[in-house]
Amino acid sequence: MNKKVLVLCTGNSCRSIIAEAIINAKLDGIEAQSSGVKASGKVNPNAKKLLEEKGIWNDEYHSKVLDEVINEEFDLIVTVCDHAHETCPMFPRPIPKIHVGFEDPDGKGYEAFEATYKKIEAELLPKVQKALSNL
């Protein structure tokens, strides 16, 4: 049975979308979704371009508000920015949470998105696997 992970950020346009795509592409048996505390409503074009180049873009990825996912059954919540970590909302049932913060590449060059991708892949994936293995 698949484990479900929610990746939470502020705008849900860069970091959380990248993390969602990497988790879905690289971790077997784990399904990720992402959402924003204050969703921007759009995916950053550099984030989309990067994920397309990596071959892991999915047209279902979009910036969404928390209301779209709050009633789903998640096994783990991952916050990837400090604001989301500090303002993480209450969910209808208790869900384990971990925080792994990354600098926001929004407004920076494409290289910043590549660096964020590498950091998320190297730092976040092992922590998600470890947290889920302890459940």
pLDDT digits (tens, 9 = 90+) for 37-64: 889 999 999 999 999 999 999 999 999 9
- CATH number for the domain including 33? 3.40.50.2300
What digits encode the pLDDT tens for the residues 87-109? Answer: 767 777 789 999 999 999 999 99
Catalytic residues: 9, 81, 88
Q: What angle do CA 122, 31, 121 make, to 5 degrees?
A: 10
The neighbouring-strand residues paired with 77 are: 6, 97
Q: Which two tokens stand for residue 81?
A: 């920015």
Cα–Cα dist 37/13, whole Å: 11
Sole residue written with tokens 């926001």: 104
Number of structural domains (the chain) is 1
pTM for the structure as a whole: 0.95
Full residue range of the structural domain in which residue 109 is found: 3-133
